[in-house]
Structure 1
Amino acid sequence: MNSFMDWFWLMVWWFAFVMYLIVLFQIIGDLFRDRGLSGWWKALWLFLLIVVPFISALVYLIVRGKGMAERHAQRLTDAQASTDAYIRDVAGTQPTKQIADAKALLDSGAIDEQEYATLKARALA
């Protein structure tokens, strides 16, 4: 390990190893998220990933790669929709609508001027 090329190839191999681990964990995650695949098929894929890791990972990516990408895209879409719904829920209504609702309550006599002023100040804050 005294020459630059030894260090260079060591880094290349480490990079390849880390890439393989990332692909392996992506495959295992996809296996367990896929609801269309039975437990026996999942167990078989895991067994193959342990026994012949590089070949079975390559075969998995070739055979199920398109479905893997579709499931990942669907998961991202679902997460974005969930985030958007949460933001809409937390954001509440607009200040003009809150003031209009408070004015309607004031006009109906449900609240007095003091409560209306409080609600209006809270909506504008």
Structure 2
Amino acid sequence: MFILWFWLLITVSGDLFRRHDVSGWGKVLWVIFLIILPYIGIFAYLLTQHRGMAERDQARAKQMREDLRSVVGFSVADELEKLDRLKASGSISDEEHARLRAKVIG
């Protein structure tokens, strides 16, 4: 139980401190709430901020993918060309090609 609580505390704290829409005072209040009532504080944060946490995680993952692409030098067009070659060689099925293509574009 302690490991689960500690993991949630790290997740909530990471999300809280990466947010730009919460003022410094708001962050201080959340931290105080998390310290004084740790279990209730974590559950309250998860219940009130769950949708925003998921959206921020998705945006952060997308940004990381774009940053990696810019550093490595691969573009979406390069990845689509590779997918087409894999499909033409028969390494992947039409369904896999469609799924991967949507993932690359999206």
TM range (shorter): 0.5 to 0.7
Question: Is 1:41–2:13 an aligned residue pair?
Answer: no
For 1:49 and 1:79, the matched residues in 2 are separated by 29
The equivalent of 1:50 in structure 2 is 35
For 2:61 and 2:5, the matched residues in 1 are separated by 23
The equivalent of 2:71 in structure 1 is 86
Aligned residue runs from structure 1 range 42-121, under 5 A? 42-88=27-73
The equivalent of 1:22 in structure 2 is 7
For 2:57 and 2:9, the matched residues in 1 are separated by 15
For 2:61 and 2:20, the matched residues in 1 are separated by 17
For 2:73 and 2:43, the matched residues in 1 are separated by 42
TM-score normalised according to structure 1 size: 0.57
In the alignment, residue 71 of structure 2 is paired with which amino acid? Y
Instruction: Give per-residue Cα distances to partners, 1:5-35, cap 9 Å, x unaligned.
Output: xxxxxxxxxxx21111011011111111000
* Total equivalences in the alignment: 74
SS at structure 1 position matched to 2:43: helix
Q: Structure 1: 5+ residue runs without aligned partners? A: 1-15, 90-125
SS at structure 1 position matched to 2:20: coil
Identity between Structure 1 and Structure 2 (%): 34
Runs of 4+ in structure 1 deviating by more than 3 angstroms, as ranges, are: none
Q: Specify the structure having the higher radius of gyration (Cα).
A: 1
Cα shift at 1:87: 1.1
In the alignment, residue 36 of structure 1 is paired with which amino acid? D
- Please tell me the root mean square deviation across aligned C-alpha atoms, in Å: 1.0
For 1:76 and 1:70, the matched residues in 2 are separated by 10
